[in-house]
Structure 1
Amino acid sequence: MAESMAGLKRTHRCTEVTAAQIGENVTIMGWVQKSRNKGGIIFVDLRDRSGILQLIFEESDCGAESFAKAERLRSEFVVAVEGRVEARSGAVNENLATGAIEVRAKSLRILAESETPPFPIEEKSKTKEELRLEYRFLDLRRPDIQRNLITRSRVATLTRAFLAEEGFLEIETPTLIKSTPEGARDYLVPSRVHPGSFYALPQSPQLFKQLLMVSGYDRYFQLARCYRDEDLRADRQPEFTQIDMELSFVDVDDVLDVNERLLQKLFKEICGYDLQLPIQRMTWREAMDRFGSDKPDLRFGMELKNVSEVVKDCEFVVFKGALENGGSVRGINAEGQGHMPRKKIDALVEYAKGFGAKGLAYTAINEDGTYKSSFAKFMKEEEMAALIAAMDGKPGDLLLFAADKDKVVFDVLGNLRLELARQLELLKKDEFKFLWVTEFPLLEYSEEDNRFVAMHHPFTMPMEEDLQYLDSDPGRVRAKAYDIVLNGVEMGGGSVRIHQADIQSRMFEVLGFTPERAQEQFGFLLKAFKYGVPPHAGLAYGLDRMIMLMVGADSIRDVIAFPKVKDASCLMTEAPAPVDKKQLEELGIQLEEEEQ
C-alpha cells in the first residue's frame, strides 16, 4: 500500500548530503536503484536527479515495522526515509559523490510501489532505443539522460542572462502563422472558424523577428519552437528549439562578435572549455575547395587537393571525361593507410557510390616507394610521379581520387574524408573546433524546379559588390550569410537581411516570383517595409544540436525530453493518431478511403 508523506518534509536531495552533515538527522526521498538484504542488515541505493546515496536498515535502529517494509523494497519503489548521516562503515566508494557517507534509517515510508521495469534504469543503456522510447518516462530516469536535460536547462538560463545583459528583449512570436511554401514543408493546421483555410506551424520566426526590427525593438531573442515536415536524420526532428535572435543597425561583424562571446561563456560554464576569440573564419568557397563541405570538421587534416591541372593531358578516360564535362579531379591523402587491404578499399568505393560517385580511383604507395594503383596503367610514369607529388604522397600513404562535376566530387570526398576519420578514430568528442563559414552563394540552381532558389531564404542581403551580377549572372552572387560550425556540425546560421525595397523586389524577380505572388505570400512584410526599415541581421542556433555537441551525445534524441523517431511518430503516446469523425466534420475535412 502506498503511504502519504504527510508530516514529512524533504531536507536534502541525495547528493546534497555530505560529510559535513555527519551526526545530523536528514529526510530524503527518491527511487530505489537497488536493494541488498544481507540478513539482518539491508543496504539500499536511493536515487534522485542529483545522484545516489546509500541507506542502511537495521531493525534495532528503524524498528520492526520499517524493517519489514525495507525487506519488501524493489527497484523503482518511491520512498521517504528519515535517518542519521554516518561515515561509511565499509570501503569508501570513489565512484559516487556520496561514497564516503551513508544514512542509517530510523523510519521508512513507501510512497509508491513499482512493477518490474522493462529494462534496467542505468547509464549507457544497452536496451534497444525503440523500447526505451516507448517507455520514455522510465528512460528519462537514467542518470546520463537526466544530466543532458539538466545541461540543456542550464544553457537556456545562461543564454537568457547573457542576452539580457547585451540589451536583447525576449519576445514570443506566434506559432499559428501563414504558410509560405519556400523551403521545407510546413505542418498545416486546419481552421474550424475559416473552413478550407489553414495555419502553418513556423519553420522559424523569420518574418516576425524582422517585423520586430521594423517596429523598433532593436534587439530580440527567443527560445523558439520550430516545426519542419521533412525526412529525419540523427540530428533532425520534426519539432525542435532554436536560440533565435535579430539585431538592428548592425553588419556581419557585430552579429559575429556578440555570438562569439555568447559561445565563449556557454562552453566555459558548461564544458570548462576556454574558447579563444576571434573564432576562425573561412569563406564558403574555401571550405568547399579544402574540405568538400560547407560545414567542415577541423579536428583532422586530410584536405582535398585539386589535381585537375596535373592530369589535364593524361589519357585516363575517367579523369579526361570529367574535365571535358566542366568538372574536376580532386583527391585526399589518407596518410599512413597505404597498407589498407583491398577489401577495405572496395568498401570505401561502395561508400563513395552512395554519394553519387561512379567509382573511386586510388593509389597505395608501398614503403619502398613503389605503388599499387587502379589506374596507373593508363598514365605515363612521369604523370603518376607528378600526381603523387601534387598529393604530397609519401611511402605508406593511400591516395583516393574522385572525378566528376564539382558538386559530386565535393559530396563524395567530403563524406569519404569523414568516413576515414571515423574508421581511424580521429574524432574526439572532447575536442571543440569552431569555425565561421561566410560568403555563401546567395542562390543555388534547382534542377527540379528549373530555376534559382534562395540558399538561405529570400530576405538575405547580397554582398554589395556582387549586386551588379544579380540579373546577369545570379549564380555568381555571394550572400552576407554566415554559419557557425562546430566539429563538422552546422550549429547555427544567419545573415544580414535586405532592408531596401528595390533590392527585395529584384530578389523576388530572380527567384521567379511575380509581383502578385510576392504580394500574396509576403504582402504584410512588404507593406511594413514601406514605413522605415533599419538595417538588420540575425542568427539562430539549433539548441538541440548545441547540447548534443556539448555533452558528446550521438543523437539529438538523447538531449530532448520526448523525441520523435525516424518516421516522425512518438512511440510513447502513439502520435500521430486518427481522430473522431466529428472533429473532422467540424473542420470540414473528409478523408479519402485508401483502396486496398
Structure 2
Amino acid sequence: MYRSHTCGELRLTDVKKEVTLAGWVQTVRKFGSITFIDIRDRYGITQLLFSESLNAQLDANPLGREFVLQVKGTVNERSNKNANIATGEIEITVTEFSILNKSVVPPFTIQDDTDGGDDLRMKYRYLDLRRNAVKKNLELRYSVNRSARNYLHENSFMDIETPFLIKSTPEGARDFVVPSRMNPGQFYALPQSPQTFKQLLMVSGYDRYYQIVKCFRDEDLRADRQPEFTQIDCEMSFVEQEDILNMFEGLIKRIFKDVKNIDYTEKVERMTWEDAMWNYGNDKPDIRFDIKLLNLKKPSTVFTNKTDNASLINGVDFKVFDEAETVIAISIPGASEYTRKQTDELTEWVKRPQIGMKGLVFIKVNTDGTYKSSVDKFYSEDKLKAIATAANAKPGDLILILAGTEEKTRKATSDLRMYMADKSGLRKSDEYKLLWVLDFPLFEYAEEDNRWVARHHPFTSPKPDQIDVMINNDPVIKDAANYLAHPYANIKANAYDMVLNGNEIGGGSIRIFQKELQEKMFAALGMDKEEQQHKFGFLLGAFEYGAPPHGGLAFGFDRLCAILGGSESIRDFIAFPKNNSGRDVMLDAPSTIDDKQFDELQIKLDLK
C-alpha cells in the first residue's frame, strides 16, 4: 500500500494514528538536528517531521523539490500551527521513508506565485498542473460539469454521443479536415458543433438530448477562443421558446448554487437584440452597471422604432456632428473632476487602431451646477444642460460623446462604456448578472456577395408569425443600395442568447423542422438545389419522415468556467490548452508527418 491517507485528509482527530503518505516534496527546511518537509498531493499538503535519528539517512539520500516520497509515521499535534492550510494543526513524525522517484530541478517553482512565464509553463504543462491555483481551476471545471449532468439527468435528458469524423459543410468558421486513407482524395471534417446530429436525434424520437462535447473551429485565436473547445450541447422536442428559456435558466441557476453557493433567485432579465444594440452598443451587454447609450443621431439602419435626440445637437453648425452618420453619448458617474490630462488620455484611447475613432467630445456636469465642454464655442450652456438631462447625468458626472459611421461608433462607444466602468470600479468580480437577448435578425447582408447570410446558423427558424414572409417572398436582393427595404431584412429569428456579465455564455434557437422552409432558408443563403442536396441532403431527407418541432441551446463550457473562476482566459480552465497560435508547445503540435504517411494517404504536399 503506497498510502493510507491523502496529504489533505488528516486532522487533530487523527492524532496517534499510524499512517502512510505519498506525494511530492514541496519544501525542505533543516533546523539543526531535525528537518521539516512539506509533502503535497492533489488533496493538500502535510508537514513531516524527520527527527535526529533519520537525519543521517536524509544526508545520505538528500531530498529535492518534486521528489516523489513515501513516508510512514505517527500523527501528532503541531506546536506551531498553520491556520492557512487544512492540515495545519497536525504533522507526521516520520519513522521510515522511501524515495519513489527523483526529480531534476523544475524549470519554475511549483507554487501559486510561480516564477514561470506563460510560454514556459505551457511547455511543461504537466508541472504547471501540480500548482494549487491550476488545480482549483480544474476542480471548478469538474464541479460545473457534474452540476450540469445532474440537472440534465434529473430533467430526463439523455447523454448521446455523436461522431467526430463527419462531412465538411462550412458555413461560418473554417473546418478542420482529416484525410481518409481508405477513401483516397476524400476528407472528413471535425464538427464545429453536433448541430445536425442533435436535430436528427429529435427526428429519431430522443426528445431530450445532451452532450458535454468537444467542438472544433479553425479560426484566429484570442483569450476566449481555442481551436478545440467544449460545449454543453442540448436539444428538446415539442417545445417553444419559453420552454427552452425556463429549462436553461434552471440549469445555470443550479450551477450557481452547486459551484458558487449562490442562490440566484431573481428572474433573468430579457432584452430584444434591437434594444441591446440601441442602449448598450452590442448584443451581449454587461448590465451590472447602469450606463446606457444616448443616441443623439439615429442612422437609417435597423432601428426602425427608435426615437433619437437629434434636436439637442442640430442647428449650431458643428460639422463633426452634422456630417456623422451617428452620434452617441454616455454618462460616467462621478467623473466630472477628470483633468485635461485625463480627458486627453481618453481621446488618445479612442484613437487607438483597436477603437478607430477620430476624437472625443466631453461635457463635465460640475457639482456647482455649471457645465464645461470641449465644444463650448458651439454649444451654449442651455444646450449642454439639455444633453446632460437627456443622458440622465447628475452633478459630478462626465458625458463622453463619439461621432462617426454607425457600426464603428456604436462598437467604440460600447468599448468605451466597458473601459470607463472598469476605471470607475463598476464591474465587481463577485457580482453576477444574467440576461437573455432575444429576437435577433434572422439574416445579415453580405455586401460583397449581395446576398443574405445567417446571423446564427442556417437551421434557425424565423419567428412563427414571420414564416409566411419568408416562404412567400423571393430572397434575391434586386436593389443592393436599398437592401433594408427587402422583406427579409426585417425577419426576426426565433433565437436567444444567454449573457453573463457581458459575455455570451450560451446561444440557441427553435429550429426549422419543415423541409420546404429549410429549402427556402438554404436558397436565401445562395445555395441552389444541387448544393443543398450535396451538403444537407441527409437532413432534408430526414425531414420527410415526420420531424417534430424542436429547439435547443449550447453553452460555452470553457467560457462559463472562466467567468465563474474570475479569469479573462479560458486557457486557465483547460488541462492542456493551445497557445494563441494554435500550438501545443508541450507536444510541439501541429508537426510534420513522414513521407510514408503521405504515401498511404495518397497526398502530395505542395507548400507555396
Q: 17-26 or 333-342, which moves further after superposition?
A: 333-342
Q: 364-373 or 333-342, which moves further after superposition?
A: 364-373
- Give the distance between the partners of 1:12 and 1:395, measured in 2 at CA: 63
Would you say the 8 A contact 1:27–1:83 is kept in 2?
Answer: yes
Would you say the 8 A contact 2:45–2:87 is kept in 1?
Answer: yes
**Residues 74-85 of structure 1: pairs in structure 2 closer than 5 A:** 74-85=64-75
Structure 2 residue 412 is the aligned partner of structure 1 residue 412: yes
- Summarize deviations over 1:121-148 as a string: whole Å, max 9, x none: 1114353111111111111111010111
Q: Which among 304, 310, 329 is matched to residue 293 of structure 2?
A: 304
In the other structure, the counterpart of 1:373 is: 373
In the other structure, the counterpart of 2:322 is: 320
Secondary structure of residue in 1 paired with 2:545 = coil
Q: Which among 53, 68, 71 is matched to residue 46 of structure 2?
A: 53
User: Deviation at 1:251?
Assistant: 0.9
In the other structure, the counterpart of 1:334 is: 332
> Which structure 2 segments of 5+ residues have no match?
298-308, 474-485
- Give the distance between the partners of 1:381 and 1:264, measured in 2 at CA: 49
Distance 1:588 1:377, change over 3 A: farther
In the other structure, the counterpart of 1:44 is: 37
User: Deviation at 1:190?
Assistant: 1.3
Q: Which among 536, 546, 562 is matched to residue 550 of structure 2?
A: 536
- Give the distance between the partners of 1:537 and 1:528, measured in 2 at CA: 16
Percent sequence identity is 49
Secondary structure of residue in 1 paired with 2:362 = strand
User: Deviation at 1:575?
Assistant: 0.5
In the other structure, the counterpart of 2:120 is: 131
> Which structure 1 segments of 5+ residues have no match?
1-7
**Residues 213-252 of structure 1: pairs in structure 2 closer than 5 A:** 213-252=202-241
Q: 181-190 or 500-509, which moves further after superposition?
A: 500-509
Distance 1:48 1:522, change over 3 A: same
In the other structure, the counterpart of 1:347 is: 345
- Summarize deviations over 1:62-119 as a string: whole Å, max 9, x none: 5854x446x61111111011111111122x2111111111111111111111111111
Distance 1:177 1:213, change over 3 A: same
- Give the distance between the partners of 2:405 and 2:544, measured in 1 at CA: 44
Would you say the 8 A contact 2:143–2:258 is kept in 1?
Answer: no
In the other structure, the counterpart of 1:3 is: none
Q: What amino acid is the match of 2:414?
A: G
In the other structure, the counterpart of 1:500 is: 514
Q: 568-577 or 349-358, which moves further after superposition?
A: 349-358
Structure 2 residue 560 is the aligned partner of structure 1 residue 546: yes
Q: Which among 566, 569, 577 is matched to residue 591 of structure 2?
A: 577
- Summarize deviations over 1:260-288 as a string: whole Å, max 9, x none: 11111111111111111431111111111
User: Deviation at 1:226?
Assistant: 0.4
In the other structure, the counterpart of 1:18 is: 11
- Give the distance between the partners of 2:272 and 2:364, measured in 1 at CA: 32
Q: What amino acid is the match of 2:120?
A: L
Would you say the 8 A contact 2:36–2:50 is kept in 1?
Answer: yes
- Give the distance between the partners of 1:546 and 1:347, measured in 2 at CA: 34
User: Deviation at 1:154?
Assistant: 2.2
Structure 2 residue 358 is the aligned partner of structure 1 residue 361: no
Distance 1:347 1:450, change over 3 A: farther
Would you say the 8 A contact 1:481–1:494 is kept in 2?
Answer: yes
User: Deviation at 1:381?
Assistant: 4.4
In the other structure, the counterpart of 1:5 is: none
How many residue pairs were aligned?
Answer: 579
In the other structure, the counterpart of 2:302 is: none
Distance 1:314 1:465, change over 3 A: farther
Q: 564-573 or 118-127, which moves further after superposition?
A: 118-127
TM-score, structure 2 length as denominator? 0.92
Q: Which among 158, 168, 188 is matched to residue 147 of structure 2?
A: 158
Would you say the 8 A contact 1:124–1:144 is kept in 2?
Answer: no
- Give the distance between the partners of 1:367 and 1:154, measured in 2 at CA: 49
- Give the distance between the partners of 2:194 and 2:91, measured in 1 at CA: 51
User: Deviation at 1:9?
Assistant: 3.3
Would you say the 8 A contact 1:307–1:390 is kept in 2?
Answer: no
Secondary structure of residue in 1 paired with 2:377 = helix
User: Deviation at 1:468?
Assistant: 4.7
Would you say the 8 A contact 1:314–1:320 is kept in 2?
Answer: no
Q: Which among 521, 534, 537 is matched to residue 523 of structure 1?
A: 537
Would you say the 8 A contact 1:361–1:401 is kept in 2?
Answer: yes
Structure 2 residue 111 is the aligned partner of structure 1 residue 115: no
TM-score, structure 1 length as denominator? 0.94
Would you say the 8 A contact 2:33–2:55 is kept in 1?
Answer: no
**Residues 386-465 of structure 1: pairs in structure 2 closer than 5 A:** 386-465=386-465
- Give the distance between the partners of 1:63 and 1:377, measured in 2 at CA: 83
- Give the distance between the partners of 2:578 and 2:322, measured in 1 at CA: 47
User: Deviation at 1:593?
Assistant: 4.3
Q: What amino acid is the match of 2:78?
A: R
In the other structure, the counterpart of 2:282 is: 293
- Give the distance between the partners of 2:113 and 2:510, measured in 1 at CA: 43
**CA RMSD across the alignment:** 1.7
User: Deviation at 1:584?
Assistant: 1.5
- Give the distance between the partners of 1:466 and 1:343, measured in 2 at CA: 53
Q: 129-138 or 463-472, which moves further after superposition?
A: 463-472
User: Deviation at 1:365?
Assistant: 3.2
